[in-house]
Amino acid sequence: MRPRLPPLNNLKAFEAAARHESFTRAAEELCVTQGAVSQQVKALEEGLGLKLFNRERQRLVITEAGRDYLAVVRDALDRIAVGTERLLQRQNAGVLTVSTSPDFAAKWLVHRLGHFAEAHSGIDLRISATLHHVDFAREEVDLAVRHGDGNWPGLDTVQLSAEQLFAVCSPKLLSGRRRLGKPADILKFPLIHLDTRADWTHWLRAAGVPEDAVTHGPVLNRASMVIDAAINGQGVALARTTLAAWDLINGRLVRPFPDSLPLSKTYWIICPKATSNVPKIVTFRNWLLSEATEDARRLKQALRREPSN
């Protein structure tokens, strides 16, 4: 059984009084009254059964027992202070392991990691790109970015950004004999599909284009591959806002038409509720949100710069 320890406030009052040789100056340091310091020291003396100070002619004189105990108390308080500082440093810095999908890592995150490293050199980022949803209880992962509806019971969830689905292509498809002038012109080019052809069916129907030729074009199983194929001029693709943002902002992709479909599933920043306020997690989450906000601003500018059809 652990021995009973004196109250920490009593020990702090004793240490400050011994250092200043004054209850009054100790009270000023601790932001309490002189009477409070006197009572805390008295309670400590009664608990120990020892006299720690002598009061001589309005002076506070530490006893021999007080000097011996002071060395112990100072050492303990110093150790607590050092340990606390180290703990806070680890909370603000150190390794931060982030789990994301391969598509989000490839098309959104890796381009920006240099910016984060410059601003937060004390945080050592470890990125794990995986398709499975992380189990925070069993895996050494601090934070994850996942695509879904935000319904993950027991976890802290913050939406990264709203999502839309729209057509994208290489800028070179906007010029030439077969250029994209109206939504129906999309059918002049291969349609690049993700997993199934259902998205193109919905988009063409919403744009008022006959869906008869929706079956032409390759079917790929990764959104990042679909976007890269569109960048290379292999056809027209449908892309989500978040994954296409970097290439749209930097001119590798364009939106030939404003038509878009809202999406209910978006990207979310998730972590255990118990660690949601850990400083390094807060820092990275705020950085992700800041980048997403800047994307939205720059995407509006990029859309205004695109030539009208």
CA-based Rg of the chain, rounded to a whole angstrom?
32
For residue 48, what are the contacts with CB-CB under 8 A and spacing of at least 6? Answer: 6, 69
**Under 8 Å between Cβ of 217 and 226:** no
**Under 8 Å between Cβ of 220 and 193:** yes
118 SS3 class: helix
128 φ, ψ (degrees, to nearest 5): -115, 110
Helices within the chain (DSSP H only): 8-20, 23-30, 34-48, 64-92, 102-104, 113-119, 198-206, 223-231, 241-249, 279-305
- Rounded to whole angstroms, the Cα distance separating 307 from 221 reads 31
Residues forming beta bridges with residue 157, ordered by sequence position: 270
Name the pairing type of β-strands 191-194 and 219-220. parallel
HSE-up (13 A, CA, CB side) for residue 134: 25
Taking all residues of the chain, what is their mean pLDDT, rounded to a whole number? Answer: 88
Structure tokens at 191: 């349609």
270 φ, ψ (degrees, to nearest 5): -130, 150
Name the pairing type of β-strands 164-168 and 236-240. antiparallel
| CA 193 vs CA 48, 223, 237, 252, 267: distances in Å | 79, 9, 7, 19, 21
Q: How far apart are the first and last CA of the chain?
A: 81
> What is the DSSP code (8-state) at residue 95?
E
Handedness of CA 274, 121, 298, 128 (dihedral sign): negative
153 SS3 class: coil
Structure tokens at 158: 């913050």
pLDDT of residue 167: 94
pLDDT of residue 1: 59
For residue 87, what are the contacts with CB-CB under 8 A and spacing of at least 6? Answer: none
Angle ∠(232,233,237) on CA atoms, nearest 5:
100
Residue range 184-231, pLDDT digits in tens: 888 888 999 998 888 888 888 888 887 666 667 889 999 999 999 999
pLDDT of residue 52: 93
pLDDT mean values, one per 10 residues, the chain (309 residues): 81 92 92 93 91 86 92 90 67 80 95 91 91 86 94 93 94 80 86 88 85 77 95 94 94 91 94 91 95 92 62
Domains assigned to the chain: 8-91 (1.10.10.10), 93-163+265-299 (3.40.190.10), 164-262 (3.40.190.10)
